[in-house]
Amino acid sequence: MSRLEDVYRDLHAHPELSFSERRTAGLAAAWLRECGFEVHEGIGITGVVGVLARGEGPVALLRADMDGLPVEEATGLPYASTARALDPDGVDVAVMHACGHDVHVTCLLGAAATLAADAGWTGTLVVLFQPAEEVARGAAAMVDDRLYDLVPRPDVVLGQHVAPLPAGALGLTSGPAFAATDSLRVTLTGAGGHGSRPEATVDPVVMAASTVMRLQTIVSREVAATDTAVVTVGASRAGTKANIIPEQAELLVNVRTYDPHVRGVVLAAITRIVEAEAAAAGAPVGPEIVAYESAPAVVNDADAVERTRAALTGTVGVTAVVDPGPVTGSEDVGVLAAAAGAPCVFWLLGGADPAAFDGAADVPAMQRVMASLPSNHSPAYAPVIQPTLGIGVSALVSAALVWLGPV
């Protein structure tokens, strides 16, 4: 565990952006070889998979994601990241493990070593270190790069995501566990000109403003109160100067849903509204709508959840395995399970200081405390090292052993 803690601090200090996780991938590959795994590198650009086969029996896949985020760290930790990199647009950005993927990698390394040293199971263990979860493309990239031609198809896909639950707790739910995500780039084209003569232009800034406001009606007026959807306009970009009406405006829109029907309704409404606002403004050409990130909802198989729950409760105790219900964050781990035709079980790993939760006796009380803590993607997000790592390793090991065969 001391070695794993050092690995964690090293990974936290050296985050890498999506599809650029070469240092992290190299560390994972070297560790797996040391543990006796057959190692495949460069799957889906930077993905790494280790296979440890012990004769006939079930195949269990454990997964961790590797990429960091373009966030400048503000934790003040002695091992805080000062890394910088060029993003896909060529912009120099700070990089941080603001989502806890360094925890995921470290726990999977520990689980791989522990299971490799355990002679009490048969079957095949597959450990997978995935790139580019943050852009919702890494799992698909690995599948498209012949993942399941290189390694056995699993009977189950298992994984975890660190969250500001108290360290020592695990969150497990059946059915939809993480929301589907869809990110769209909307380009609105007007006719530019001088700000003093708006009558000679078609203003895309006004067009964009009207579109942003109208998009807010989708959830409030087109989605049933019993369904769930989130529509966020995360960026609005246009213009360079106060007295110049630009030719174009760009909106970046993100959608979160659980139900495929609701997902279709929301995406269709976005297209309808964008096109209608452009037409109402007299745009000379129609808008362009490009989907650039997408992942389906993570749906935990009910039977597989109950089978795995027994292992997790054996690790942390019955009262420490809570049901958080579905979360509106998104993950692409379900792509790995769907491509294999296997059930998925994905749980939350508590990483917050347990002292902050004194007196929080149930999930609603925990959620109120969580709302006051730095969360994933925050520049101040910093899981406590222990007991987070120890429980994260134990949870993966115990879950895998429930699915692997006995000797």
Q: Which of 134, 102, 143, 106 is nearest to 19 (CA)?
A: 134
Average pLDDT, the chain: 97
CB burial of residue 63 (10 Å; 0-12, 13-18, 19+): buried
Q: How many helices (H) and strands (E) does the chain have?
A: 12, 19
Q: Which residues contact 39 (CB under 8 A, 6 or more apart)?
A: 29, 32, 33, 48, 49, 50, 51
164 lies in the same domain as 312: yes
CATH of the domain at 358: 3.40.630.10
Average pLDDT over residues 322-329: 93
Sequence ranges of the binding site for Mn(2+): 99, 101, 134, 161
Q: What is the pLDDT of residue 361?
A: 81
* Strand residue runs (E) in 105-190: 121-130, 156-166, 170-171, 175-189
Q: How far apart are CA 106 and CA 112, in angstroms?
A: 10
Q: What is the pLDDT of residue 384?
A: 97
Residue 329 token pair: 């964050």
336 lies in the same domain as 253: no
Q: What is the pLDDT of residue 407?
A: 85
Residue 68 token pair: 């960091």
Domain count within the chain: 2
80 lies in the same domain as 210: no
Q: Which of 89, 91, 118, 97 is nearest to 24 (CA)?
A: 97
288 lies in the same domain as 205: yes
pTM score above 0.85: yes
59 lies in the same domain as 169: yes
Domain boundary among 274, 294, 314: 294
What is the span of the domain harbouring residue 212? 179-294
Residue 278 token pair: 């452009």
CB burial of residue 13 (10 Å; 0-12, 13-18, 19+): middle
24 lies in the same domain as 156: yes
285 lies in the same domain as 306: no
Q: What is the pLDDT of residues 198-245, one digit of tens each?
A: 999 999 999 999 999 999 999 999 999 999 999 999 999 999 999 999
Domain boundary among 270, 294, 318: 294
75 lies in the same domain as 152: yes
Sequence ranges of the binding site: 99, 101, 134, 161
Query: H or E stretch including 294?
Result: strand 288-295
276 lies in the same domain as 312: no
200 lies in the same domain as 124: no
Q: Which of 289, 159, 158 is nearest to 215 (CA)?
A: 289
C-alpha distances in Å from residue 214, one per residue of 207, 210, 284, 361: 11, 6, 21, 41
Q: How far apart are CA 342 and CA 344, in angstroms?
A: 7
Domain boundary among 273, 294, 315: 294
146 lies in the same domain as 37: yes
76 lies in the same domain as 32: yes
CATH of the domain at 204: 3.30.70.360
Name residue 12's amino acid: H
Average pLDDT over residues 348-373: 92
Q: What is the pLDDT of residues 185-200, one digit of tens each?
A: 999 999 999 999 999 9
Residues paired with 8 in a beta bridge: none
17-21, 184-188, 366-370: least confident range: 366-370
